[in-house]
């Protein structure tokens, strides 16, 4: 195996000169669990930790290494452990707002080629939640593919209705499949050297999908008493190298999917609305109450659904509000940091 097989393509090679360090090699973060890391290179996978200097330089959680990142690492103890010195810039990424009231970014994964957005045809089917995943992918410049699982639980007519709903939301490729019957798996092609990431709620069939792609029961599922559906027991993000050479990043189910500072991502996730906005009378139209708003006019004509419009406005406002809160938090953190440094200097003097 070579680094290129793990996704170290030309884009990363172009950054390798400035990040190369004597006595170190390049590796990819393959797992993160409560701050502990595993890294992977041509020889295999070992545990790794950040140097004190790198940990000190990190100003935000968004700068911490996440699954899929490329790093410069120094191996020791007969190459059974490593220290991470530097983190490569990210070509693509998936992130969300941290769960709860705290406004900060949480990195999901980095350097992803395709995000598989998984929804069940059964209880989990939710177009508005799909909007959020599509915005997340667009914000990080990741290609989205929608996977509908558990097609065996509904009729062909019901499946056609769900496919039509998704078609009204996105132009992304949609694959409908059943982990039980195997139907639809012939349309799921994964290419060597490319990195895919599974996104979706618990119980949509992500773990069963992974096991089928691997060809064995490598990961366990447990039953949900209310529905009898499988739910993932994974608590960490993990990169898996499949036998055909593709890489798959598994993620725990996400109950909260907040949006922070994803203005362009919201526009790209609602492409038809973004295109309509070019015909608004005012360049800074909020699409809420201004005269001459092309988006609201399309809603009134029935060319754009009210649900679609409402989802766009909601995510746009949420993204902007959380971004302002995040920037305010960063200003306070930096001011406090300057105060601490000044106090330490005065103590030394």
Task: State the CATH number of the domain containing residue 315.
Answer: 1.10.40.50
Q: Specify the pLDDT at position 229.
A: 47
Q: Answer yes or no: do 64 and 175 share one domain.
A: no
Q: Answer yes or no: do 71 and 107 share one domain.
A: no
Res. 341 pLDDT band, cuts 50 70 90:
low
55 domain residue, yes or no: yes
How far is the CA of 273 from the CAs of 120, 135, 260, 294, 345, in angstroms? 27, 13, 20, 9, 54
Q: Quick: pLDDT tens for 113-149.
A: 999 999 988 778 888 889 989 998 998 999 999 999 9
Q: Quick: pLDDT tens for 200-256.
A: 887 777 778 888 887 655 555 555 444 444 444 555 688 999 988 999 998 877 666
Please provide the average confidence, as pLDDT, over all residues in the chain.
83
Q: Answer yes or no: do 148 and 293 share one domain.
A: no
Q: Answer yes or no: do 120 and 238 share one domain.
A: yes
Least confident of 29-38, 114-123, 278-287, 333-342: 333-342
Q: Specify the pLDDT at position 334.
A: 57
Q: Answer yes or no: do 213 and 119 share one domain.
A: yes
Closest listed residue to residue 27, CA positions, set 58, 55, 57, 1: 1
334 domain residue, yes or no: no
Q: Specify the pLDDT at position 109.
A: 94
pLDDT more than 90, % of the chain: 40
pLDDT more than 70, % of the chain: 82
Q: Which of helix, strand or coil describes residue 151?
A: helix
Domain finish residue from 220, 250, 280: 250
Query: Taking residues 53-80, what's their average pLDDT?
Result: 90
Q: Answer yes or no: do 279 and 239 share one domain.
A: no
Which residue's entry shows tokens 């019901």? 158
pTM > 0.85:
no
Q: Quick: pLDDT tens for 164-186.
A: 999 988 889 999 998 888 888 88
Least confident of 17-26, 121-130, 230-239, 303-312: 230-239
Least confident of 44-48, 81-85, 282-286: 282-286
333 domain residue, yes or no: no
Q: Specify the pLDDT at position 339.
A: 47
Q: Answer yes or no: do 80 and 109 share one domain.
A: no
Q: Answer yes or no: do 69 and 181 share one domain.
A: no
Q: Specify the pLDDT at position 279.
A: 92
Res. 155 pLDDT band, cuts 50 70 90:
very high
Q: Where are the alpha helices (DSSP H) in the chain?
A: 10-19, 52-57, 127-139, 156-169, 206-214, 263-269, 271-277, 294-300, 306-348
Domain CATH number, residue 36: 2.40.50.140
Domain that holds residue 13: 3-87
Q: What total number of domains does the chain contain?
A: 3
Q: Give the angle subtended at the CA of 262 by the CAs of 261 and 265, to the nearest 5°.
A: 170
Q: Answer yes or no: do 128 and 19 share one domain.
A: no
- Take residue 147 and report the two structure tokens written for it: 């996977």
338 domain residue, yes or no: no
150 close to 178: Cβ distance less than 8 angstroms: yes
How far, in Å, CA of 210 to CA of 2, rounded? 24
Query: Taking residues 87-94, what's their average pLDDT?
Result: 95
Q: Answer yes or no: do 211 and 293 share one domain.
A: no
Q: Answer yes or no: do 66 and 152 share one domain.
A: no
337 domain residue, yes or no: no
Please give the full DSSP string across 186-217, using - where no structure is assigned: GG----TT-EEEEE--TTSSHHHHHHHHHTS-
Q: Specify the pLDDT at position 228.
A: 42
Q: Answer yes or no: do 100 and 242 share one domain.
A: yes
How far, in Å, CA of 333 to CA of 346, rounded? 20
């Amino acid at each position: 195996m070579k680094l290129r097989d793990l996704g170290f393509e030309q884009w990363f090679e172009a950054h390798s000169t400035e990040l190369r360090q004597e006595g170190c090699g390049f590796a990819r973060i393959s797992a993160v669990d409560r701050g502990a890391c595993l890294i992977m290179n041509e020889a295999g996978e070992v545990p790794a930790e950040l140097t004190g200097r790198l940990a000190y330089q990190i100003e935000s959680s968004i700068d911490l290494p996440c699954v899929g990142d490329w790093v410069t690492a120094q191996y020791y103890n007969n190459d059974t452990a490593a220290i991470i010195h530097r983190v490569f810039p990210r070509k693509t990424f998936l992130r969300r707002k941290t769960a709860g009231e705290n406004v900060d970014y949480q990195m999901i994964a980095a350097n992803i080629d395709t995000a598989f957005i998984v929804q069940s045809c059964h209880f989990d089917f939710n177009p508005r939640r799909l909007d959020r995943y599509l915005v997340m992918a667009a914000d990080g410049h990741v290609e989205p593919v929608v996977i509908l699982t558990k097609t065996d639980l509904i009729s062909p007519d019901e499946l056609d209705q769900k496919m039509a709903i998704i078609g009204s939301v996105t132009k992304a490729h949609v694959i409908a499949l059943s982990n039980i019957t195997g139907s639809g798996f012939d349309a799921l092609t994964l290419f060597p050297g490319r990195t895919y990431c599974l996104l979706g709620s618990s119980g949509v069939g992500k773990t069963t999908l992974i096991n089928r792609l691997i060809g064995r029961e490598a990961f366990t599922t447990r039953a949900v008493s209310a529905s009898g559906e499988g739910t993932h027991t994974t608590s960490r993000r993990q990169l898996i190298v499949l036998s055909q050479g593709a890489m798959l990043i598994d993620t725990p189910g996400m109950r909260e999917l907040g949006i922070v500072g994803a203005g362009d991502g919201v526009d790209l996730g609602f492409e038809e609305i973004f295109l309509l906005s070019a015909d608004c009378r005012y360049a800074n139209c909020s699409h809420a109450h201004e005269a001459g708003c092309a988006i609201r006019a399309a809603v009134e004509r029935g060319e754009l659904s009210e649900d679609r419009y409402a989802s766009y406005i909601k995510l746009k406002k949420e993204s902007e509000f959380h971004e302002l809160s995040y920037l305010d938090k960063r200003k306070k953190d930096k001011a406090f940091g300057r105060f601490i440094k000044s106090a330490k200097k005065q103590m030394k003097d």
